[in-house]
Structure 1
């Protein structure tokens, strides 16, 4: 009896569902992290979870067919599942068949505004936890407020403000209420958060990225320190001049950053799996101290290696030692992603 069952199993088709489905999911995440596709419609895909059971059932049925045809049919079912859920993730209710049903491609967002007065504040420490929608962060035209925000929310607003002496402490983010209606409610038409910050009050700014794309135009701010914790989203960052420290914690998302145009700065970079493109202004000198990981680190022609090798070395621009006013010290502990320092041109 055991030999008969063993022969039947050998004659039955092999299942390709698991490998193909995992490859498809990995491809979607990779495209998202590379910025090729925008936020995926996870909320809608979860509403269609019974369809996944149907594909799994079909896969079990076709496995009973003798090889190699059973294996071929399993591959067809697997590709169909990946194709259907891929289309749902990418296009949502824009698909003709889904438009007939009462499905929601995103959570039910509500709009909230927050305002923090600058009265009595001579400095500020601000923490921004940016979620699935990302944010456009700019400077405020008026000096009346420290922070102004227009936010689209599906979860609970996390907002705290206090004034300790003359220093303001502000924390802004969103807590998702549950798994289904929070962290995976992406893909709607809601705009990113709109956040304005004071240009005059010195700010210690800490930004934690989520899965959304953010544009941080900080070139007119008075920063004392800047920290960025990259998530899976994409970030475009423009930094001001002055004299402050910069800390970057890499993630799986893509970072494009225009470095300060003047002043003395130290930048500590802990690389992740995502790509980082750093643009060096022409009047800034720089020194790079590299402890590389498995990812590729590339420098433009302005840099000359003064010690070490391609993975663990030190590079400087020609006038780094001579110019004590406008220079950057860049400490890189590489990850698996790529890091490139490029000349800033007419971007």
Structure 2
């Protein structure tokens, strides 16, 4: 006579579902302005208590059914009540008071011009909520537009030996807390930067998009070099013709890039995370080499063919004889690159 055996089912824990539901509701109420001025940093200060509650939950699950699930639910409710109270009321007079203090959004015009400049070196950090960047028409200004900021901003200019150096960046005390929910709500009250660059003076351009959505229309800018880093957010980039090199880095988010229509170029594209779509003009020949870790690469009707005897190397049929051609090196860590 055979003996049937079965493994006793572990008690179901209610801790995870209850805590996740509570966190989701707090986020929802905060984003819809039902609950405002929450003490998120005070909650983070109490992170060791979360370990205590997790340990209590493990002990509770050792009890027989159905008491294990009941005890687990009670512990979860205790955690929600405690952390919820701190989130709403803070920790009183403690030195590390966690209410996020942000200044009012301010909008200010910005402008810089200089005579006898042969090269303009731009170093621009685009903070939240993003920027529209374009070429100035019929203007002698090297930089002109409007910026929206909170606490302060950095605007430094100097001219030496025919070279103008321009540095522009946000300096918000709240910038380092950009991922906190209170700051997300503040985003909505801000306007994107509007920045125009001189279209005649050759430009050595370094850009970093920290967050937000940006449209960078450089088609009429006289580029010599371009260094662009997208840390987060969405970005649309329109590249000019001419002869120059570029280094493009996407750390997160989504980027859409229209490649140059003419000239000869070498472009390095690093995709650490996120997705990038490249638009190839019909008159531009392309040679592309791809290195992939966990990412993906695809070409949709771009006229690319794999180079014989070379793995992960493609080019258009007319590349060798084309007057306008682009050498593209792509390194994908995690993410995707599509050429169309």
TM-score bracket, normalised by the shorter chain, equals 0.7 to 0.9
Specify the alignment match of 1:113 in structure 2.
109
Whether the aligned pair in 2 keeps the contact of 1:293 and 1:334 (CA below 8 Å) is yes
Specify the alignment match of 1:88 in structure 2.
none
CA deviation after TM superposition for structure 1 residue 51, in Å: 8.9
SS in 1 for 2:307: strand
Deviation string 1:170-193 (CA, Å, 9 cap, x unpaired) is 010012225687775333221101
SS in 2 for 1:186: helix
Specify the alignment match of 1:317 in structure 2.
316
Whether the aligned pair in 2 keeps the contact of 1:162 and 1:168 (CA below 8 Å) is yes
| Distance change >3 Å, CA 216–CA 262, structure 1 → 2 | same
Whether the aligned pair in 2 keeps the contact of 1:251 and 1:271 (CA below 8 Å) is yes
Give the 5 Å matches for 1:26-37. none
Computing the radius of gyration from Cα coordinates, the structure with the larger value is 2
| Distance change >3 Å, CA 67–CA 292, structure 1 → 2 | same
Specify the alignment match of 2:139 in structure 1.
143
Specify the alignment match of 1:332 in structure 2.
330
Give the 5 Å matches for 1:1-347. 13=13, 15-16=15-16, 20=20, 47=38, 49=40, 66-69=67-70, 107-178=103-174, 184=180, 185-187=183-185, 188-301=188-301, 302-307=303-308, 312-323=311-322, 325-342=323-340
| Distance change >3 Å, CA 156–CA 104, structure 1 → 2 | closer
| Distance change >3 Å, CA 307–CA 113, structure 1 → 2 | same
| Distance change >3 Å, CA 45–CA 262, structure 1 → 2 | farther
CA deviation after TM superposition for structure 1 residue 243, in Å: 0.6
Deviation string 1:144-187 (CA, Å, 9 cap, x unpaired) is 20101311111321111111111111010012225687775333
RMSD of Structure 2 on Structure 1 (CA)? 3.9
Q: Give the TM-score taking structure 2 as reference length.
A: 0.73
Whether the aligned pair in 1 keeps the contact of 2:102 and 2:173 (CA below 8 Å) is no
CA deviation after TM superposition for structure 1 residue 341, in Å: 1.0
Specify the alignment match of 2:5 in structure 1.
none
SS in 2 for 1:16: helix
> In 2, distance between residues paired with 1:335 and 1:180?
26
> In 1, distance between residues paired with 2:326 and 2:22?
43
CA deviation after TM superposition for structure 1 residue 233, in Å: 1.2
SS in 2 for 1:270: strand
CA deviation after TM superposition for structure 1 residue 317, in Å: 0.5
Deviation string 1:292-321 (CA, Å, 9 cap, x unpaired) is 121001123311001467xx5210101001
Whether the aligned pair in 2 keeps the contact of 1:121 and 1:168 (CA below 8 Å) is yes
Report the count of equivalent residues: 292
> In 1, distance between residues paired with 2:32 and 2:232?
15
SS in 2 for 1:47: coil
SS in 2 for 1:290: strand
Specify the alignment match of 2:90 in structure 1.
none
Which runs of at least 4 in structure 1 moved beyond 6 Å after TM superposition?
21-25, 50-53, 56-61, 72-78, 103-106, 179-183
Structure 1: runs of 5+ lacking an equivalent? 1-9, 29-39, 85-102, 343-347
SS in 2 for 1:168: strand
> In 2, distance between residues paired with 1:45 and 1:150?
29
| Distance change >3 Å, CA 307–CA 334, structure 1 → 2 | farther
| Distance change >3 Å, CA 248–CA 257, structure 1 → 2 | same
CA deviation after TM superposition for structure 1 residue 133, in Å: 1.1
